[in-house]
Structure 1
């Protein structure tokens, strides 16, 4: 995915507290049971823990991207902590526990059991492309932050339709797909609306995206504190920064597609409020490019 000799690394904090998904109302679902900070790890005894159970009707309707309901169909055997056919059930973090046939969230308690809105039991893998460029003023000069004296970096951000929050235009790694293929596909669908283009346009844009995505810096690989997480299903991702050194994206017209409500270039700054753990990823992009944060 990246050239090891040119790769820079970001020092991102491991987001392992389930802070965003605990003690809140589940998306399109019930209120979660309360989980104090010191009771999150499974290794800590919590006798009074009585999590709410929830599986979204959409997930139970058996869409192609969802696992069977192993809570009710005991004949189905999923191979957890392994590559199960075309589905990768390994965690980026390590091996997770499986109790009574159900995987346990590798980070700890969330206040809700079942799958919620997630299709897979255990880890649900995603890929998040952080596409960046330097900000320039009307005269073409690079914009420097007056306080940090560092150049301002911009990234392609979408506004999610489900929560209304700004986010990276990423998506789920489908069964049989690679992370690198997902990064390109999701960026094209959500930020460039390639799904509405004819085949000739798709081929042209696809070639340009492929060129930009040749070299990237892996910013993060692991667990995501996502509002959809439950005790038995959770999000993990690989976030990769692709920096537009050559001005390739001046050729592109950003257009929201798929589940994006809006898309634009957004200045990277420490005051950014974003979906799930996405602010961590853009902070990493600022680090590897020595930009303002």
Structure 2
């Protein structure tokens, strides 16, 4: 799945929530009908906010726009920094990029370092759920095999999420995916050199498995503002037999508070847009997702029946 479309059913909602993460900053209220920048709103004047951690100019952050010697090249590769969006060209106003998904009620960079798109990579590691005898487990209602994925509990907000992180300048997505999973789900940063070498072998086997790109593009993230936004590439690596993951111990590290295998279903409440990504994986793998059956649908779920009805009207 490539891209992100702004529709009535898919307005960015988490990007308009208050308070802004890690602060007491309240966004201006942006009603659904005025999210799109194509809708004129002369009175719109959002508060400016950039976190102190960004203003100290760490290696992962840009200087303020307008600062001497800082001339970012938007919509193109700017040295080692990727300023191109995975969704195409974005507008630049008064030297600042404009969020392509629309208004968020807040200007500035918040917690994000780069003006414009901030690129991340999210690996979804899956396996089939099995019983004590090693047999795959079917859901009692849908009859489909149940899928599990490795989830972490984020330290910053306490929400469960896909283990992932930011792409370093000049880094390949495949490298980011492997590195972030090792750091957050296997605590690689706290291991000895010998342990890291063994872990690298396991990670190589794991990330050499069959995989597919689940999604590329804009993410409805609570850290987004009018001038900065998250984009990601989500990749699913599937261990069909479970032999590799069964022998790799999970241990939370870096930005993760906890890590565990989680059953995939429509009741999952995850960080940002992660639930949508997990649903796409379940659909691709033909795994269980929804368990709400409609009594007069002959085995179809209510969601399936509604979709079928829409397709024929």
Match of 1:208 in 2: 202
Q: Deviations over 1:205-235 (max 9, x none)?
A: 1122122212311000000000000000000
Is the CA contact 1:158–1:256 (under 8 Å) kept in the aligned structure 2?
A: yes
TM alignment of 1:1-293, pairs within 5 A: 14=5, 17-29=11-23, 30-71=25-66, 73-214=67-208, 215-246=210-241, 247-293=243-289
Match of 2:301 in 1: none
Greater RCO (Cα-Cα under 8 Å, separation 6 or more): 1
How far residue 75 of structure 1 moved from its aligned partner, in angstroms, is 3.9
How far residue 24 of structure 1 moved from its aligned partner, in angstroms, is 2.1
Is the CA contact 1:23–1:34 (under 8 Å) kept in the aligned structure 2?
A: no
Matched position secondary structure for 1:21: helix
Name the CA distance, whole Å, in 2 between partners of 1:35 and 1:280: 23
Name the CA distance, whole Å, in 1 between partners of 2:3 and 2:76: 27
- Pairwise CA RMSD: 1.5
How far residue 28 of structure 1 moved from its aligned partner, in angstroms, is 2.1
Matched position secondary structure for 2:174: helix
Counting matched residue pairs gives 283
- Structure 1 residues 205 and 79: alpha-carbon distance in aligned structure 2, compared to 1, 3 A threshold: same
Q: TM-score, normalised by structure 2?
A: 0.87
Using the TM superposition, name which of 273-282 and 208-217 deviates more: 208-217
Name the CA distance, whole Å, in 2 between partners of 1:167 and 1:270: 15
- Max radius of gyration: which structure? 2
Using the TM superposition, name which of 142-151 and 14-23 deviates more: 14-23
- Structure 1 residues 85 and 46: alpha-carbon distance in aligned structure 2, compared to 1, 3 A threshold: same
Name the CA distance, whole Å, in 2 between partners of 1:209 and 1:245: 16
How far residue 40 of structure 1 moved from its aligned partner, in angstroms, is 0.9
Which runs of 5 or more structure 2 residues have no equivalent in the other structure? Answer: 290-313
- Structure 1 residues 187 and 22: alpha-carbon distance in aligned structure 2, compared to 1, 3 A threshold: same
Name the CA distance, whole Å, in 2 between partners of 1:24 and 1:236: 21
Is the CA contact 2:2–2:216 (under 8 Å) kept in the aligned structure 1?
A: no
Q: TM-score, normalised by structure 1?
A: 0.93
